[in-house]
Amino acid sequence: MTLRNSTAAYEALKDRFNRLSALGGAQAVLHWDRATMMPEGGAAARAEQQAVLSLIAHETLTAPDTAELLAEAEDAASSLGEWDRANLAEMVRIHAHATATPADLVMRLSRQKSETEMIWRRARAANDYASLAPALDKLISLVREQAAAKAEALGLSPYDALLDSYDPGRRASDIDRLFAELEAFLPDLLREVMEHQASEAAPLVPEGPFPVARQEELGREVMRLMGFDFAHGRLDVSHHPFTGGVPDDSRITTRYDEADFTESLMAVIHETGHSLYERGLPAEWRGQPVGRARGMTIHESQSLLYEMQAARTEGFIAFLTPHFRAAFGGNGPAWEVDNILRHYRKVRPSLIRVQADEVTYPLHVMLRYRLERAMIAGDLEARDLPAAWNDGMQSLLGITPPDDASGCMQDIHWPSGSFGYFPTYTLGALAAAQLFAAAKQAEPGLEAALGQGDFAPLTRFVREKVHGIGARMTPDEIILHATGEPLGVSAFRRHINRRYLSK
């Protein structure tokens, strides 16, 4: 094979992946439309549209000439620059995942994901797990089928094959080691923090109601402070906060509670962290695999970096508090900075993952990790999930959900087919702690800037060390590059001790 032919093959692949990227963007926007604004009666039609788009993308990626082009292009790999070599390697990895899944399974999975997610929306609202279980059982069976096919093709265990889709190179053995280190100290640390907080006055709860329109405007104001570009994105409402779209067309959703403004605001900050990452990916590599986000551990590290690390600093809460008072007409002790700070840092076992404090949050994730591994292994069936969930909540957090809506039905992930995603939340929290510590060293004025509502120093750091890397490195290489240390639990433990125990 001549070098010229090999180079031409690589250029043809780049064109193909550009088209696939545009198709993926259309799918992302369709999913956002379905979740936020489209009538329920059209769900079946939209599910079919989504399935057809998935099939078109799969057929394009797995076409016989794609494999031929990849083989030809690899002959020219040594002549390519660093970014192009990484781009070609990503093409090979993506192609391997795609060819491992038969086309008919792609269609069946897409349809079942859409159907199960819509059933979940109704079932959760009605606290009716019995109506969800049959559809979830079908979906789990299809995910097992996909996991087995990928496992055989990639030489991995079924669960590792799913993990690799969300966090390239991640293995369950990595998670087991890190989670074991967390579990070795977290229960004792949780008790110590709770005892410490019990010795102080409980935070006062600001009295509502807090009109949704004012919560929304407050969220938009904070998004602007964070650098969100409303010319390239929007904020809407859905059952579950999420970020979708593409780097140049970002879609963020949250949900509101007129009795509590704090949840929606932190959800907006979290999702804006995701959006800033997408927006900061290398523009010159838009549409190419190397220009994509590098897996969900890195993605979650960016959202948690802003939500948990930066937005809960004393300086930023002090900056925000007058805005709270102005937005909701609050006054009195409940609206003082110290009380708002204690409200945002209150630690206690709770039922809902997205409302959990950062000390107990890893325990929520450990539960989901154990349950989804059991489901993929065939050791746990959908009908038995509520009981297994309740037992796990009692074991890890000492509380039992009063119903399935606040138990095993609270998250959208499993009904939408996302098995292997949950561990990245806690891995992302570990990475966020390391990144924030590194950012403070690299940007000495960072915390003072946050006290002025200025996120620029933090964003400048992650733009250079994380966002601008795209998928050129592995997730663990990015963390090592940005912080000087491999992913671990030490920075997270130091952070929790300093924030909650002042030591």
Q: Which two tokens stand for residue 30?
A: 């369709």
- Determine contact, residues 54/28, Cβ cutoff 8 Å: no
Predicted model pTM: 0.93
Q: Which two tokens stand for residue 135?
A: 């559809």
| Residue 135 in domain | no
Query: Helices in 378-442 by DSSP H: which ranges?
Result: 385-397, 423-442
Alpha carbon dihedral 432, 250, 254, 400, in 10-degree steps, equals: -50
| Residue 156 in domain | no
| Residue 66 in domain | no
| Residue 469 in domain | yes
In sequence order, the 6+-apart residues with CB closer than 8 A to the CB of 243 are 250, 251, 252, 253, 271, 274, 275, 278
Q: Which helix (H) or strand (E) holds 243?
A: strand 242-246
| Residue 421 in domain | yes
Calculate helix-pair angle for 212-226, 262-280, nearest 10 degrees. Answer: 30
Domain containing residue 480: 173-207+295-501
Supply the pLDDT for residue 1: 44
Nearest CA to 227 out of 462, 469, 456 is that of 456
Q: Which two tokens stand for residue 225?
A: 């402070």
Over residues 278-293, the pLDDT tens digits come to 999 999 999 999 999 9
Supply the pLDDT for residue 37: 60
Positive/negative CA dihedral, 120, 251, 166, 359: negative
Residue numbers of the chain with a pLDDT score lower than 70: 1-4, 26, 29-39, 43, 503
Q: Which helix (H) or strand (E) holds 258?
A: none
Supply the pLDDT for residue 38: 62
184: domain CATH number? Answer: 1.10.1370.30
SS3 237: strand
Would you call 162 exposed, middle or buried from its count of C-beta atoms within 10 A (0-12, 13-18, 19+)?
Answer: buried
Catalytic residue among 74, 271, 278, 300: 271
Q: Cα(361)–Cα(338) distance, rounded to whole angstroms? A: 23
| Residue 14 in domain | no
Nearest CA to 262 out of 320, 306, 223 is that of 320
Tell me the backbone φ, ψ of residue 242, rounded to 5 degrees.
-160, 165
Q: Cα(372)–Cα(140) distance, rounded to whole angstroms? A: 10
Tally of structural domains, the chain: 1
Would you call 407 exposed, middle or buried from its count of C-beta atoms within 10 A (0-12, 13-18, 19+)?
Answer: buried
Q: Which amino acid is at 242?
A: F
| Residue 483 in domain | yes
| Residue 138 in domain | no
> Active-site residue 11, yes or no?
no
- Determine contact, residues 495/437, Cβ cutoff 8 Å: yes
In this structure, are strands 249-254 and 233-237 parallel, antiparallel, or unpaired?
Answer: parallel
Supply the pLDDT for residue 35: 62
Sheet strands (E) in 73-216:
none
Supply the pLDDT for residue 7: 85
